[in-house]
Amino acid sequence: MMRPLVVISIAAFVLAMLALFLVKHEVRGLERELALLELDRQRHVEAIRVLRSEWSYLTRPSRLATLAARHLPLEPVQAAQIRWLPQRPAGLPALMTPIGGEGGS
């Protein structure tokens, strides 16, 4: 009477062990993969740090000034080159008439 129960229990136990072992095995594989990915991520983060420094170093103003002087025909902006809308150049029509004013000055 005890026999079938014992056999079934043992079989179930063995099966459970096997399943647990397989799952555990898979989990360890995934964990290893995760750790490698994390390592990879950290290496990339580090590489980005290095590259950001490199970029900052290469775009330092003194170097850009030298390069611009060598390769570009540009010069620093003068105040006269900038117009703000209310101070329209003479050739352009007024955008709006000043309130209470008699038009242009």
Partner 1 sequence: MRDLAVRRWWCRYGAGAPNLRESGESARAQRLERARGRLLTTGVVFLLFFGALVVRTLDVAVIGVPAGAVGAGAGGAPQPVARADIVDRNGVLLASNLPTHALYVEPGKIFDREAAIAAIGGVLPDLNLDRTAALLDSGRTTALLRHDLTPEQAHAINRLGIPGLWLERQDQRFYPQGRLFAHAVGFTDVDNRGLAGIEQAAGDELRRRAEERDGPLALSLDIRIQHALAEALDDAMTTHRAVGAAGLVMDVTSGELLALVSLPSFDPKAPDRSATNARFNRATLGTYELGSTFKPFTIAMALDLGVAALEDSYDATEPIRVSRHLIRDHHPENRWLTVPEILIHSSNIGAARMAVHVGGERQRSFLEALGMLARMPLESSERGRPIAPRRWSTHSTMTIGFGHGIAVTPLHLIAGYAALVNGGIAVTPTLLRRETGMHIERRRVIGAETSAVMRMLLYAVVAEGTGRKAAVPGYLVGGKTGTAEKAIGGRYKRDSMITSFVGVFPIDEPRYAVLTLLDEPKGTKETFGFATAGWTAAPVAGAVIERIAPFLGVPAAVDTGESEEEPPFAERRKGDDGEQHVAL
DSSP state of 92: S
Structure tokens at 65: 């000034």
Minimum CB–partner distance for residue 2 and partner 1 (Å): 15
Phi–psi pair at 40, nearest 5 degrees: -60, -45
Q: Quick check: 68 and 60 in contact, CB under 8 A?
A: no
Minimum CB–partner distance for residue 21 and partner 1 (Å): 6
Residues 6+ apart with CB under 8 A from 88: 94, 95
Report 66-105 residues binding partner 1 (CB under 8 A): 76-80, 82-84, 86-87, 89, 98-101, 105
Residues 6+ apart with CB under 8 A from 74: 68
Q: Give the x-and-dash track for 10-39 against partner 1 (CB under 8 A).
A: -------x--xx--x---x--xx--xx-xx
Q: Is 60 in the site for partner 1 (CB under 8 A)?
A: yes
Question: Which residues bind to partner 1, rule: CB under 8 A?
Answer: 17, 20-21, 24, 28, 31-32, 35-36, 38-39, 42-43, 45-46, 49-50, 52-57, 59-62, 65, 76-80, 82-84, 86-87, 89, 98-101, 105
